[in-house]
Structure 1
Amino acid sequence: MRSKLIGLAACCSLALAAFAVQAQAQLKHGHPASYTVQRGDTLWSIAARFLDKPWLWPELWQRNPQVQDPHRIYPGDTLSLETSFASPVPQLRLEPGIRTEAAPIPAIPLDELQTFLKDVRIDDIETVRHAAYVVALEQQHMGASAGEKLYVRGLQTLPGQHWAIVRPTHLIRGFDQDASGRVHSKKGHPLDADARMVRTDWSEDAREDGHLLRGREVGVELDVVGTAEALAGGDPASLLLQSSSEEVVPGDRVIPVDNMAYDPVYYPHPARQAIPGAQVIALSDALAAVGRNQVVAISIGRLDGADNGQTWSVFHPGARIHDPVRGGSITLPREFSGHLMIFRTFAHVSYALIMDGTAPITLNDELQPPE
């Protein structure tokens, strides 16, 4: 995952969208009567501060009609926290906050998410293994940039067709548990970590190599490095590289352009039931932990019941410690770490945004419905 998408300034605004709230929000003990919006706030972050269930931020919005568009709240706006959130939405008595010259706090434009919406894809390994690939570049160069020719093998194309140039970066593998809950590799070796799914560096071999992390291949993460237009068919076919985020090199794959439309806003809603094996499998540009406004990959996708806007609670597994009195070992209770919201799904993997947190979120943290 690329670094340019990390630390998005207002990521939580992704979740701002209007919809009717059936559940009832509860205010945290000791809440103030009102709150003045500060620079960098979103309704989610305010709700996380004052509500027991921050994904119910639309109820906060409904009770403050001076906020006509939740995608545009302003520093200086005053939000009421006085009315009972256990009662029906009352007639609002609020005065709008003083409008200053400060710019509104907008929702995130989609181009700020393009690395995970457009520049990264996940395909199954057989698709990647059999995809057309760049075999050579114009004048036998080592790398190609926009305006140069590519020669591609295995591509059925007509002149004028457009293609995406992608580079495999990581292989995602899944593992099965035995009756005791231990996770094993395909060779039967128990894994050291409590991983049900892992993301490892891609290699062209990608076959059985004796490594303990060998498991069933769930998918391959691909970086989209360019787009090209076919000049002539054949084997190899000739393509003109039209744009590139980095140099295209021999071995890069050539696949259809992804023309899927992406959600302009996201409707946050809690996951309704647990999905076995749901956990964090990759961190965005971090080795150990991530926090609010950062992106993670999780081990569930649309075929598992994941969908855009789905909100999960994240728990860190309890540590295994020695019992100093009775002897032996004991597992401590798991610890709540925060909430995340899914914003892009694949078959068995999704990308999610960390919406709030009380502790760093790490690899193998477990996901549970927030209720």
Structure 2
Amino acid sequence: MLVTVAVYAAGAQLRADHPDSYTVHRGDTLWSISARFLSKPWLWPEIWQANPQVHNPHLIYPGDVLDLSFVNGGPSLRLEPSIHHEGEAIPAIPLDKIKASLKDFRVVDPSEVKDAPYVMGFEEADITGSPGHNIYVRKLNAQPGQRWAIVRPTHVFRTFDDKEAQQSGEMAANVADSDVATQDTPWMEEWATDIGNVTPNHALRGKPLAMEVAVIGDAEVLRGGDPATLLVLNSTQEIRAGDRLMPINDDPYDPYYYPHAPKSLPQDGRVIAFAQDRLSQVGPYDVVVLSVGSKDGVDNGTTFALWQPGEKVPDDVDHSSWIRSSHKWVRLPDEYVGHVMVFRTFDRVSYALVMDGLKPVQKGARVRMPE
């Protein structure tokens, strides 16, 4: 154990320009503080672990003072707590940026959505449902009193394979939702027409990995049967015919995240989507979707470096003709972009938060070890 702590401390070196001390401010995160004085900010759990006087790095409050000094040639932190704690302890990452991705969305296999019970009608022949009104659901095997989540498909996530890509860059915005939504999934054709938002948020024709659904409300079973009668308890959108029902997810989400490098680098991990679909690129504290998940050994806190693939450009110097099409095309080197930390994993994909960056993150960025 002592050897392990020594190795961690050696890896988590202080920056040359680190301050002598730092007072914790409201709005700080453990990552942002560590970025001020650690050359590798994702190693803050290790350097705090090497300092037992800091009993819980997640219980640091505004007004606390971090005293940085060198002990026996190695980095050391000493926490001087404030007398009166103001507000809540600072988190590892800004939780307000990821709340929607924790609670309002799920990622499942497309077959789960296809086979799930569905809304087929509404009280008094209405065309939509709202809280306080009844809805009628087919294929639901449930008892009175049970609660169910009402979900709506939002995106189909697909692999990011250069050979399978047919459009990229600005052309992505011109792809019609139904054009990709119905590919390989004809059962979604009516949903794409009615809802208009079932689409992969990248313009690729790769293999489908998973489907994202938005949790738009919940309902309680009043009477069983086919169709069953349910009372809408709450909703963020109007309930429509074709919306699916899934079990309520009561699993609590751990607000504590410990960034760490992956045990091994997953093969060809990419940024395949953004939480804000309309954006062409994102930056720090934006949520991205990675094409790797728990089956690839990724867990909460896994930290990657992102590298943007180099562009393929013509060599205007080494050519034998003035005709551009005859020029030799060269792939430029990949460029470092920034770091992302995974905060929610599924089988084949993960949600990650962009923690820092030198350049905007674009879809297709590759994940690498955070060195």
Same fold (TM over 0.5): yes
1:6 equivalent in structure 2? none
Change (3 A) 1:322 1:151: same
Give the letter aligned to residue 29 of structure 2: T
1:227 equivalent in structure 2? 218
Is structure 2 residue 126 aligned with structure 1 residue 141? yes
CA distance in 1, matches of 2:252, 2:105: 15
- Residues 194-213 of structure 1, C-alpha deviations (whole Å, 9 max, x = no match): 9xxxx99578745478x984
Change (3 A) 1:100 1:304: same
Is structure 2 residue 227 aligned with structure 1 residue 236? yes
Q: Aligned to 1:263, what secondary structure does the other structure show?
A: coil
1:294 equivalent in structure 2? 286
2:13 equivalent in structure 1? 26
The Cα shift of 1:98 comes to 5.9
The Cα shift of 1:299 comes to 0.6
CA contact (8 A) 2:130 2:234 kept: yes
Change (3 A) 1:61 1:104: farther
Residue segments in structure 2 that go unaligned for 5+ positions in a row:
170-174, 187-198, 320-327
152, 155, 177: which one pairs with 2:140?
A: 155
2:40 equivalent in structure 1? 53
CA distance in 2, matches of 1:85, 1:279: 42
- Residues 205-236 of structure 1, C-alpha deviations (whole Å, 9 max, x = no match): 45478x98444321111000111111112211
303, 311, 314: which one pairs with 2:303?
A: 311
The Cα shift of 1:344 comes to 0.8
CA distance in 1, matches of 2:31, 2:7: 17
- Residues 277-328 of structure 1, C-alpha deviations (whole Å, 9 max, x = no match): 2111111225122222221111111111111111111111122223232242
CA distance in 2, matches of 1:114, 1:355: 16
1:96 equivalent in structure 2? 80
262, 269, 274: which one pairs with 1:271?
A: 262
- Structure-2-length-normalised TM-score: 0.79
CA distance in 2, matches of 1:85, 1:282: 46
Over the matched positions of the two proteins, sequence identity in percent amounts to 44
The Cα shift of 1:370 comes to 0.8
CA distance in 1, matches of 2:337, 2:54: 30
Change (3 A) 1:233 1:316: same
CA distance in 2, matches of 1:44, 1:248: 40
- Residues 73-129 of structure 1, C-alpha deviations (whole Å, 9 max, x = no match): 344443233316963x76x6x572766785455327978744212210111111111
2:333 equivalent in structure 1? 333
| C-alpha RMSD of the superposition | 3.2
- More helix, by proportion: 2
CA distance in 1, matches of 2:219, 2:6: 46
1:35 equivalent in structure 2? 22
Paired residues, what number?
335
Give the letter aligned to residue 333 of structure 2: P
Give the letter aligned to residue 344 of structure 1: R
**Any residues of structure 2 matched to 1:351-370 within 5 Å, and which?**
351-370=351-370
Give the letter aligned to residue 228 of structure 1: A
1:245 equivalent in structure 2? 236
CA contact (8 A) 1:74 1:99 kept: no
Is structure 2 residue 70 aligned with structure 1 residue 70? no
Is structure 2 residue 182 aligned with structure 1 residue 191? no
1:7 equivalent in structure 2? none
Q: Aligned to 1:269, what secondary structure does the other structure show?
A: coil
Residue segments in structure 1 that go unaligned for 5+ positions in a row:
1-18, 177-181, 185-189
